[in-house]
Structure 1
Amino acid sequence: MANRVPPRFGRWERRAKRTSWTGGRCATSGRALDRARAARDLAGQSRGRAASPGAPRPVLAATGLLGGFHVTLGLLALVVTTGALAEAVPAPTAHVLGSLTFGIGFVFLTVGRSELFTENFLIPVAAVLSGHAAKRSVARLWVITFGLNLAGIALFVVLASIPGVLEPEALQAAGELADTLAERDLPAGAASAVLGGAVITVFTWLAEAAESDLTRLSSSPLPSASSCWPPA
């Protein structure tokens, strides 16, 4: 079923069409028409996601669980690559090169249409502010996605922790990465979280603005920048 444009956006569009395209009023009517179309496009983007704020709970749960799996695949690629390179290059260089593979997880997120909690801020909040989604629906989206992301990550970690699944070098790289995160003080951790969230928001906006999956995939390595800190 086609999305119904709220009356206020239709009013802007009708007002723009009625305005005489003469003199200074031309620019005003053009801006009004652009405003109406932008609002309608924004609603279409927020509703066109695999798990929009109004999606059924089973859809939110399934895409959230898969999102946890997918992002952990990126982390797995990071530690495996870092561990494999640690014997050949200095540790900081190995970590930076390994971090470049973290974007693999976002390739799966993009192609599989799964949901990551940190992605669900810009578009849902914009939908609420424009009147296309209820606050309760966005809160439900956040709670279910966050919980199922954690469940997917935990399940993946349990499987990867079974002896023999990962090479010792990968386990050592994972331990060093965990120590780096745990030893950060509060200001550094908060600043890193803000910067990482900003990168994810840029990725989300680029993925929503792209018109093809190929274009979306080209922006998938961008989140790797948020994981390129050197090990302690």
Structure 2
Amino acid sequence: MSDQSADASTEQKTSRSILDSILETALHEMNRERSGLLLSGLSAGLDIGFGPLMMAVVLTLSPASFGDLTTELLLASVYSIGFMFVILGRSELFTEHTTLAVIPVLDGQASLRDLGRLWGLVYAGNLVGGLCFTQLVVLLMPGLGVVSPDAFAEIAIKLVSHDLPWLFVGGVFAGWLMGLLAWLITAAQETTSRLILVWVVAGTIGLLHLPHSIAGNVEVLFGLFVSPAVTLTDYLWFLGLATVGNAVGGSVFVALLKYGHVVRGAN
């Protein structure tokens, strides 16, 4: 009995320390200057675009396409590259903060206004960064001969061809996974462990073709710029539903539940 109690106590301390680290990090980000948050969000929006770019390269060079197991696994792996750059580089990503920034509000250390300020600045920076990255890629990369416009269009159509309810539900799952990743990254002690976690979680999002509002912003913009099959309406519906779904997934299925079980367990 005493051994079980000791194990439970050890487990609870670990969970509590993760929560405390998240609170400290989130409060630090909430107190940053607007310009710092915007620039960090801009950097993340630029960096995450390398994942969708590498997907287009794979589709251009591969004899197969979506639906082929080997190609799908390779696409999922390269999709995670942008997330590695952003998360290990400590840039601000909106879908991480759907969990991280909610926890101080639940703990009473921040207000909904603080949450809205952080979300708004990071989200705006992410979108502008993604737009800039997409414009550069569409203008410059096809001339290098490793990416075709058809690959850009194929990636975008894969996302916007779904029904609107699926975009929301898929966005919830993507936000759930990103929130879980934020929690696990905080728990991990080594860079190698964090790298593997990013690869596994982001690769899962890529393999399932779930709508991630920030990486997907780049993916759908690719299609909007190069293909008449992707319209501005398609882009706006995707972005809106994916964003709301991501926020719900990260806030409810990770922030609320993780915070609840740690605090109730501590009591």
TM-score, normalising length: structure 2:
0.66
Classify the secondary structure of the residue corresponding to 1:115. Answer: coil
Cα-to-partner distance string for 1:187-218 (whole Å, 9 max, x where unaligned): 22222111111111111111111122222111
Who is 1:107 aligned against?
84
Whole-Å Cα distance in 2 between the matches of residues 175 and 39 of structure 1? 45
Deviation at 1:41, TM superposition (A): 5.4
CA contact (8 A) 1:51 1:60 kept: no
Whole-Å Cα distance in 2 between the matches of residues 113 and 141 of structure 1? 15
Whole-Å Cα distance in 1 between the matches of residues 143 and 122 of structure 2? 28
CA contact (8 A) 1:51 1:59 kept: no
Distance 1:165 1:148, change over 3 A: farther
Alpha-carbon RMSD:
2.7
User: Which structure has more RCO (C-alpha within 8 Å, separation ≥ 6)?
Assistant: 2
CA contact (8 A) 1:65 1:148 kept: yes
CA contact (8 A) 1:54 1:133 kept: no
Distance 1:118 1:90, change over 3 A: closer
Deviation at 1:138, TM superposition (A): 1.3
The alignment status of 1:190 with 2:165, answered yes or no, reads: no
Deviation at 1:49, TM superposition (A): 5.8
Who is 2:181 aligned against?
203
The alignment status of 1:157 with 2:134, answered yes or no, reads: yes
Residue 97 of structure 2 aligns with an amino acid whose one-letter code is N
Structure 1 unaligned blocks of 5 or more:
1-26
Who is 2:38 aligned against?
61
Whole-Å Cα distance in 2 between the matches of residues 169 and 217 of structure 1? 27
Whole-Å Cα distance in 1 between the matches of residues 203 and 144 of structure 2? 22
Deviation at 1:60, TM superposition (A): 0.5
Distance 1:80 1:51, change over 3 A: farther
Who is 1:97 aligned against?
74
**Greater Cα radius of gyration, structure 1 or 2:** 1
**Among 111, 122, 136, which residue is 1:145 paired with?**
122
CA contact (8 A) 1:110 1:217 kept: no
Distance 1:46 1:123, change over 3 A: same
Residue 200 of structure 1 aligns with an amino acid whose one-letter code is M
Deviation at 1:95, TM superposition (A): 3.8
Cα-to-partner distance string for 1:78-101 (whole Å, 9 max, x where unaligned): 22112211x2x3542224421221
The alignment status of 1:119 with 2:96, answered yes or no, reads: yes
Cα-to-partner distance string for 1:48-106 (whole Å, 9 max, x where unaligned): 36962222112201110011012111111122112211x2x354222442122111111
Deviation at 1:171, TM superposition (A): 2.5
CA contact (8 A) 1:51 1:115 kept: no
CA contact (8 A) 2:98 2:175 kept: no
User: What is the number of residues matched between the two proteins?
Assistant: 198
Residue 210 of structure 1 aligns with an amino acid whose one-letter code is A
Higher helix residue share: 2
Deviation at 1:38, TM superposition (A): 6.0
Residue 146 of structure 1 aligns with an amino acid whose one-letter code is Y
Pick which of 209-218 and 142-151 moved more. Answer: 209-218
Who is 1:3 aligned against?
none
Whole-Å Cα distance in 2 between the matches of residues 211 and 50 of structure 1? 21
Whole-Å Cα distance in 2 between the matches of residues 50 and 178 of structure 1? 36
Classify the secondary structure of the residue corresponding to 2:83. Answer: helix
Distance 1:43 1:127, change over 3 A: farther
Classify the secondary structure of the residue corresponding to 1:48. Answer: helix
Cα-to-partner distance string for 1:130-172 (whole Å, 9 max, x where unaligned): 1222221111000000101000000000100115445475422
The alignment status of 1:219 with 2:168, answered yes or no, reads: no
Whole-Å Cα distance in 2 between the matches of residues 125 and 48 of structure 1? 12
